[in-house]
Amino acid sequence: MGGEELLAYYKHRAHEYEQIYEKPERQADLARVRTWLRDALVGQRILEVACGTGYWTAELASAAGGIVATDASPEVLALARQKQYPPDRVRFELADAYALAHVSGAFTAGFAAFWWSHVPHERQAAFLASLHGRLGVGAAVVLLDNRYLAGSSTPIARQDAAGNSYQLRRLADGTEHEVLKNFPTPADLEAVLTPVAQVLSITEFVYYWGVCYRVA
């Protein structure tokens, strides 16, 4: 699944996307994640990448100094704009995660939730260059994504020659989509991020992982 196919998938999934956060077994873990995120980003002026329907934008809005939330899909941005946010804290822009140079604003931090897993291995350096170039040296970066848990996560259907893994996902309308979804280990994350990061910290929750660092 390339970029256009991924956009099409999330366009179709937009209205059911947040159901994933309603799984009963994940509630305690999500509570820990919310606390961790707010502590990591409190007071920061945040550039959010791939904000989707604004679920995490809304979670962070009261703690952040301000958020410019971006996504490449007009359909999901339309849903994100419908949420309630503290006055003058959140602004939305249409932007490609691999081309963030033209996003307006001054930022002290970057944030991406459940985006890293959709970045192909061969495009990770390009995404980081886009994000880091827009933020500047010393800015904080926080990434949040899924761990793979057999019996809870959607099974991996296949891997490609570059080592990217794919899931088959069925939506409420009955359509089935092949979605690129990688599940990096802490060692994988360290290998990619250590050359471009300072003060790298990786946190493993039960169902999720989080990364905090500063742009080198």
The residue assigned the tokens 């359909």 is 75
Supply the CATH number for residue 178's domain. Answer: 3.40.50.150
DSSP 8-state class, residue 16: G
Say if strands 140-146 and 66-71 run parallel, antiparallel, or are unpaired. Answer: unpaired
What pLDDT does residue 4 have?
65
What pLDDT does residue 22 have?
85
Q: Give the domain range for residue 136.
A: 3-215
Q: Which residues of the chain have pLDDT under 70?
A: 1-17
What pLDDT does residue 205 have?
98
Q: How far is CA 73 from CA 7, 44, 152, 178, 186, in A?
A: 6, 25, 28, 18, 30
CA nearest 115: which of 202, 193, 3?
3
DSSP 8-state class, residue 155: P
| Residue 210 neighbours by CB under 8 Å, 6+ apart | 33, 36, 37, 40, 142, 143, 144, 202, 203
Strands of 62-170, DSSP E? 66-71, 90-94, 109-113, 140-146, 156-159, 165-170
Domain count, the chain: 1
What is the end-to-end Cα distance of the chain in Å, rounded?
Answer: 31
